Amino acid sequence: MTDRNADLRGTASVLSVDTLHEEELAFVSNSVLALLARFLPDKTTLALEAWHVDDAAAEITLDVTSTQACVPCPLCHVQTTRVHSRYTRTVADVPWGAYAVRLHLRVRKFFCDNPRCPRQLFTERLPAVVVPWARRTLRRAQHLSALGIALGGQAGARLAARFQWRTSPDTLLRLVQAASPPDLAAPQRIGVDEWAWRRGQRYGTILVNLEDHHVIDLLPERSADLVAHWLTQHPTVTVVCRDRSALYADGIRRGAPHAVQVVDRFHLVKNLREAIEALRHDQRPALQAAAAGTAQALTQVAGLVAAPPMYRGRHRCSQVGQQRQEAAQQQRHAAWVTTYEALHALRAQGTSVTTIAAQRGISRPTVYASLRRTRPPSPRSPQRSGHVLRPYMTYLIQRWREGCTDSMQLWRETRALGYAHSARTVSRFITRLRQASAAGWAPETQTSPYTRPQGPSARAVSFTWVCPEAKRAQDAQLYVDQLIHADPVLAQAYTLSQAFLALVRERRGADLTAWITEAVTSGIAVLARFAQGLREDLAAITAGLTLPWSNGAVEGHINRLKLLKRQSYGRAGVGLLRQRVMQAV
Ligand SMILES: [Zn+2]
């Protein structure tokens, strides 16, 4: 009865009602208990006896007892009803709003009455509420684990704190590590690919079920042995999709000799694109001719007066192009250093500056400038800064349109706007405008004539080249047309590569050998090399061009893996990454 009185007083104080009779209070109290019981983790095995609120600690404590009439022995599974004793377990449950919730769980110990069972006493299990010896309820652990899987330790704990969940990054990570791997069906068609621990240095392997798109496993290394071992443990696999690496080919051959190897189509198109990029580097004059031709053709197309994005600004260099630029820069720097040393040596011998200038074919001011230096010139950074006039070009073009062609006047106007360089630069720009205008350039375009004649990079062209015709932008299509027109070798290369892309898109693996023969005898070195490469892996590539499987899902998971890896600031081990990438939240 004392418990019940405490309960009534609790209800009265929470509801702030002093005027109710005891019967009315009892009714309200029972209603509140019935309401609160709905929030228990499992209503079928638990009964709410009482509840206490600690406002200072923002904590609610629920006294809960088990209502199971008979329970099975965990060892022999024989049901028993004979109670030995009772004790209380304290477990944390999910919070209610701003209040943390603790369950005081009254559980019982039972006798096992099975005479053949070695266990005589056992504690009742509540499998839907809490695992044995745990300090938190099952649902709390699941919620925290889901947070950890989605966000990792630090970010997960920060978000948990926002939602009044008291936990720590370490706890989240422990729960993620302890989460049991999802139930996966025996895989039959899988995709295998590498993923980077650290790009260019260390790689792992990811395996994805191509039928349900779930990650099946994450291996810490990119090695044929590991893949072979994994496949021997998964004998149900019949199709393996891979990139073109010999390493995975070898591992699959050893681990699953009966499985069909399929080369991913994306990698084939990528290799073709790279071959085309190399071809473009050998065909610079044709590239430039096509750029000029396209610029001309574009002016004839209505609505395309301004230079299209493909031609705007300085073209972005491919990696190969950038390396060439840097090598040329180094050569120029070496020449400057040689000149500097020669000038100083001549001057030390007493030769006059005029004689030195005449001998070396340099102007006297340059000789003076070099002699003033106390050390050779340092190498210039490979990135050139933009044109000093660039911020004022729009203004100058606008003034030109208004009819102002006096470069001195324009120089004074730009100086007022903040331009701090010579009048000659402005004058050169105005001359350029005059020339461009005479050549048919329309000043209404607002675009500087400087940005006009540049064509796209070899890399950009190669992407356009492998892009389906229906998806090409108008200017890109014009450019490709010009290119084919400009050079018969390019025209032949274009026809060949389009034929290969048709094999890929229409999955006509049967026609592959005929295409390879044609490409090898075409006389175009890069395409012949590409075709020879296909011959070395013919069976798998033919399968890739015939079967529907591809590694698109694998690439998607690799992107997700990158995100997970970065979320952990690169500190997560393979165990944690494996758990997070395999558990879908
Ligand atoms: Zn037993």
Q: pLDDT tens digits, residue range 83-109?
A: 999 999 999 999 988 899 999 999 999
Tokens 């629920």 map to which residue? 62
Average pLDDT, whole number, for the chain?
82
pLDDT bucket at 226, cuts 50 / 70 / 90: very high
Q: What is the pLDDT of residue 118?
A: 92
114 C-alpha to center of ligand 1: Å?
6
* Nearest of 463, 106, 13, 554 to residue 276 by alpha carbon: 463
Q: What is the pLDDT of residue 22?
A: 81
pLDDT reading at 303 higher than 50:
no
CA dihedral of 280, 286, 292, 296, whole degrees rounded to 10: -110
* Nearest of 244, 277, 271, 279 to residue 526 by alpha carbon: 279
CA distance 567 to 15: 46
- Tens of pLDDT, residue by residue over 327-353, are 777 888 888 888 888 889 998 988 888
Q: What is the pLDDT of residue 59?
A: 92
CA distance 148 to 156: 5
CA distance 409 to 430: 11
582 C-alpha to center of ligand 1: Å?
37
pLDDT reading at 466 higher than 90:
no
Q: What is the pLDDT of residue 140?
A: 93
pLDDT (average), residues 133-144: 91
Cβ(110)–Cβ(82) under 8 Å? Answer: yes
What's the gap between Cα 431 and its chain centre? 48
- Tens of pLDDT, residue by residue over 158-193, are 999 888 888 899 999 888 888 877 777 788 899 999
134 C-alpha to center of ligand 1: Å?
22
pLDDT bucket at 455, cuts 50 / 70 / 90: low
CA distance 474 to 479: 9
CA distance 550 to 269: 13
CA distance 289 to 280: 13
The residues near 270 (Cβ < 8 Å, ≥ 6 apart) are none
pLDDT reading at 311 higher than 50:
no
Q: What is the pLDDT of residue 339?
A: 86
Q: Roughly what angle, to the nearest 10 degrees, separates helices 364-372 and 319-348?
A: 90
* Nearest of 246, 248, 398, 384 to residue 322 by alpha carbon: 384
Q: What is the pLDDT of residue 452?
A: 43
- Please give the DSSP secondary-structure letter assigned to residue 65: E
CA dihedral of 527, 530, 532, 535, whole degrees rounded to 10: -130
CA distance 206 to 194: 6
Alpha helix stretches (DSSP H) within 507-585: 512-520, 525-536, 538-544, 552-567, 574-582
pLDDT reading at 301 higher than 50:
no
Give me 502's structure tokens. 């048709």
141 C-alpha to center of ligand 1: Å?
29
What's the gap between Cα 567 and its chain centre? 12
CA distance 205 to 218: 6
pLDDT (average), residues 287-294: 66
40 C-alpha to center of ligand 1: Å?
29
Q: What is the pLDDT of residue 434?
A: 80
List, in sequence order, every residue forming a beta bridge with 195; answer none if it has no partner. Answer: 204
Give me the percent of the chain exceeding a pLDDT of 90.
Answer: 22
Measured from the Cβ of residue 67, the count of other Cβ atoms closer than 10 Å reads: 11
pLDDT bucket at 231, cuts 50 / 70 / 90: very high
pLDDT bucket at 321, cuts 50 / 70 / 90: low
82 C-alpha to center of ligand 1: Å?
12
Which of the residue ranges 10-19, 206-215, 422-431 would you say has the lowest mean pLDDT?
A: 10-19
Domains of the chain with CATH codes: 46-136 (no CATH), 189-264+550-583 (3.30.420.10), 285-306+451-549 (no CATH)
113 C-alpha to center of ligand 1: Å?
7
135 C-alpha to center of ligand 1: Å?
25
The percent of the chain in helix, strand and coil, each rounded to the nearest 5, is: 55, 15, 30
CA distance 257 to 250: 10
C-alpha torsion sign, points 489, 490, 495, 496: positive
C-alpha torsion sign, points 580, 577, 252, 530: positive
110 C-alpha to center of ligand 1: Å?
10
Highest mean pLDDT among 92-96, 290-294, 374-378, 547-551: 92-96
Highest mean pLDDT among 267-271, 304-308, 428-432: 267-271
pLDDT (average), residues 289-314: 48
Q: What is the pLDDT of residue 1?
A: 42
* Nearest of 483, 452, 447 to residue 465 by alpha carbon: 483
80 C-alpha to center of ligand 1: Å?
9
71 C-alpha to center of ligand 1: Å?
11
Q: What is the pLDDT of residue 480?
A: 81
Residue positions counted in the chain = 585
74 C-alpha to center of ligand 1: Å?
7
Residues of 356-385 as b/e, b for ≥16 C-beta within 10 angstroms?
Answer: bbeeeeeeeeebeebeeeeeeeeeeeeeee
pLDDT reading at 396 higher than 60:
yes
Q: Please give all residues whose CB falls under 5 A of ion ligand 1, grouped by chain where several chains appear.
A: 73, 75-76, 112, 114, 117, 119
133 C-alpha to center of ligand 1: Å?
19
- Please give the DSSP secondary-structure letter assigned to residue 134: -
Which of the residue ranges 119-123, 231-235, 308-312, 372-376 would you say has the lowest mean pLDDT?
A: 308-312
Which amino acid makes up residue 419? Answer: Y
73 C-alpha to center of ligand 1: Å?
5
pLDDT (average), residues 532-548: 89
Q: What is the pLDDT of residue 443?
A: 56
Q: What is the pLDDT of residue 316?
A: 42
Q: What is the pLDDT of residue 280?
A: 65
pLDDT (average), residues 543-570: 85
77 C-alpha to center of ligand 1: Å?
6
79 C-alpha to center of ligand 1: Å?
8
Beta strands 202-209 and 189-198: pairing type? antiparallel
183 C-alpha to center of ligand 1: Å?
30
Q: What is the pLDDT of residue 384?
A: 46
pLDDT reading at 450 higher than 60:
no
pLDDT (average), residues 564-577: 77
* Nearest of 95, 86, 98, 102 to residue 50 by alpha carbon: 102
299 C-alpha to center of ligand 1: Å?
91
pTM beyond 0.95, yes or no: no
Give me 406's structure tokens. 């006096």
Of residues 473 and 138, which shows the higher confidence score? Answer: 138
pLDDT reading at 317 higher than 50:
no
- Please give the DSSP secondary-structure letter assigned to residue 571: -
Cβ(414)–Cβ(378) under 8 Å? Answer: no
Q: Roughly what angle, to the nearest 10 degrees, separates helices 2-15 and 22-37?
A: 80
